[in-house]
Structure 1
Amino acid sequence: MQPVEDARARILAAFAPLPAETVNVAEALGRVLAEDLTSRVTQPPKNLSAMDGYAVRAADVAEAPVTLRVVGDVPAGSHYPGALDVGEAVRIFTGGPLPAGADTIVIQENATRDDDRVTIHQGAAAGTYVRPAGLDFTAGQIGICAGRRLTSRDVGLAAAMNRPWLRVHRRPRVAILATGDEIVLPGDPLMENQIVSSNGFALAAFVQACGGEPLHLGIAPDDAAALGDMIDGARGSDMLLTSGGASVGQHDLVQDVLRRNGAEIDFWKIAMRPGKPLMFGRLGNTPVVGLPGNPVSSLVCAAIFARPAIARMLGQESPVPESARAVLGCDLPANDRRQDYLRARLETDGNGKQVATPFNKQDSSMLTRMARADCLVVRPPEAPPAKAGDAVEIVPFGGGHLEI
């Protein structure tokens, strides 16, 4: 059986960043930058007022109170055409550019206006309430680095940098094929000994959450000819995810049919729980990840192996999410030779520590436990017994780490 880290490394080696395409900044959320994004403008372009008040020379208000002559008004979007002289002030509003000669802002609460005169009751040092030109960024400065998956904050920054078009990596097209005579689509008539299919829908949602484009091929029956025809539908995609039938039992046909269709199989057993019968190979130019048919095992394996592969194709700088740490909320027994991924709730204690508490039942048939989990607690092979309060590695769900 392949250790998890070795298997993930072999899978990742089969993938590379996809070519770049150009998208409008309004459609860039969730896309991954293919090149560093530099600003086309300086922001702010000039020294601006950060408050409503009066633009003055700091030297004129060094000894307050003092009365100055008001020579103009500068709302945002306007400017004072002249230069401020000794003893002069300009009424200014937030976002307004400072007149030439002005170097500080006296807020309106510290001034009293009387026609064209203003009395300054409290002085202000040079630079007070002034946003200097280039405070945020300057033209030519890199604002967002290549390999970043764009958030709403990044989209706003790109727009502010006057970049209406962005170069991003193409979304990976991931074909998804569920197998088994016993599964039917939600809402279809349910015969005796049949179960409702969830894997295809969960994996399609998973691929979308990771930034890919799912291509749902449907449910393949346990028939070699029909399965082969449906597998052919994955040719040309960037990855094929199969669910079920990846083992070598009498009714597990996926490996055999893939081989008949010219696929090369690299490995098909992983030293992990849940998810031992995981397969990896290549069908022509399309890498194939054969996930277990059990819904929980399928999603856990997708999180550990398919997610990094999609991230690599998207050009993300670190395809494997950085491991997080928490403390255990309960005792755990010693582990066997398979790496364990325990569904767990994640809470923050009174000291600000994250506490991961695995569910007491970890049966891989329990999809409700998967839906209610906040993370997976990772137990290495042959790990000794652990006590509540011990530090453990976790795979968080959501929160910028992983959405499944």
Structure 2
Amino acid sequence: MSVIHEVLGSLRVVKAFGQEENESERFLKRSNKAVEGQMQMARLGATFQFMVSMVFTIGSVLIIYFGAQYVHAKEMTLGELTLVLAYIGQVFGPLQTISKNIAEIQSSLVSVDRVFSVLDEEKEVDDNPHAIHLDRAKGAFQFKDVSFCYDVERPILKEVSFEVRPGDRVGIMGSTGAGKSTLVSLLNRFYDPSTGVVMVDEVDIKKYKLKDYRSQFSIVLQEPVLFSTTISENIRYGKPGATEKEIIEAAKAANAHDFIIRSKDGYNTMVGERGLQLSGGERQRISIARAFIKNAPILILDEPTSSLDVKTEAQIMEAMERLMEGRTTFMITHRLDTLSSCNFILHLEEGKLVEVVRDHDINYIAHKKASFLNPAV
């Protein structure tokens, strides 16, 4: 089943590389292995059941034989022997039933073990017992000597410090593996820093209720995550209980209304699994509409236009300009053109904050472009 799930989720890649036969062979190998395991379990179960039955049968024969000897010697009455046989039958019956179901019992115990392994997994972050309520954040952030590592021997972020004012548009740039996504994960409190403090509105984020804190964020990802339901329900995901009017207003703000009403069923159009019935630009605009309808004070944009054509990118950038208005925004990008809308830039390399630029101008962007194209500049 894991092979089927993996292949169906990557069907386009499998077809593009012509690996259908290889994947079929891989599936058959795994299936044969599973069948062999089931047959081995059946053989072991049958052998065990046969042995138990033989023990019960031989035991019963021996009891009858020696019981008959005792009855013949008048050391036991026939009624007492019958009573003993009845008691033994009552004991052997449940034991035989257990022996027949021993394989199912073992399989169930394995499943129980898996369930408990999940239940016993420690949470990556947890609420402070004395956590305070957060209604709506202003959006002022402080990172104070923040370091983070998944593995003690390989730190991802190293003593990062900066301050963000409410309403700032923060561009986070750097090469692949520099720590940009990890920095955003700390913002959302998907993880807690290994050392240092992250503060929002001058309060350590660990002191806020986790649900309250995460509700302050709207996120637009590079690969939009849509659910296999209608366009309307995907937009409403940002604000459960939103009215149709609010959904339409959010779609218009995200430049999504026009293509939605041209769809077969309008806002009731099914998007398919992971939104595959829609183009990349359409999925991205629905994701932006979802962020609009949530109306959170803090916005995170993770390479939202990296895989789009110029025309679609222009429409999405126009929508994002409206979305960023009045919100503290963090934008991860490899494309320097998108930094022109940011007034605060963080440049990360190898987990270190190598450059902080506030209120830059277009000359800075031009200089950074030149330095990326020609390291000697």
TM-score relative to the length of structure 1: 0.20
TM-score relative to the length of structure 2: 0.21
For the pair shown, which has the larger CA radius of gyration, 1 or 2?
2
Which structure has greater helix proportion? 2
